[in-house]
Amino acid sequence: MTKAELVVKIAEKANLTKANAERALNAFLETVESTLVSEGKLTLTGFGTFMVELRKSRVGRNPRTGLELKIPETKVVKFRPGKILKDAVK
């Protein structure tokens, strides 16, 4: 599903115009992003938890040359689904 398709679904379910649905979705996404940057974790009870974790540095290999290279540590966003979402997908 694309963002445009999601906006249409939100507009239908919440009885909003597409423009209002898109504003609401953008506000949600901006809030998730700013919360993860500032706090590192966002929990939506029943749906799941978004969290920022540190991936340690590791040794990788260039597939073309076979040379080893060091991949630096980096922050990654992970998602752990909640019980309601897990049950809905089953």
Tell me the pLDDT tens digit for each residue of 23-63: 999 999 999 999 999 999 999 999 999 999 999 999 999 99
What global pTM score does this model have?
A: 0.79
- How crowded is residue 9: how many other Cβ atoms within 10 Å of its Cβ? 11
- The β-bridge relationship of strands 41-44 and 48-55 is antiparallel
| Per-residue model confidence (pLDDT) at position 37 | 95
HSE at residue 83, side-chain half, CA atoms within 13 A, is 1
- As a whole number of angstroms, the distance between CA 30 and CA 7 comes to 15
- Sorted by where each begins, the domain ranges of the chain are 1-39, 40-89
HSE at residue 84, side-chain half, CA atoms within 13 A, is 6
Topology of the domain covering 40-89:
HU Protein; Chain A (4.10.520)
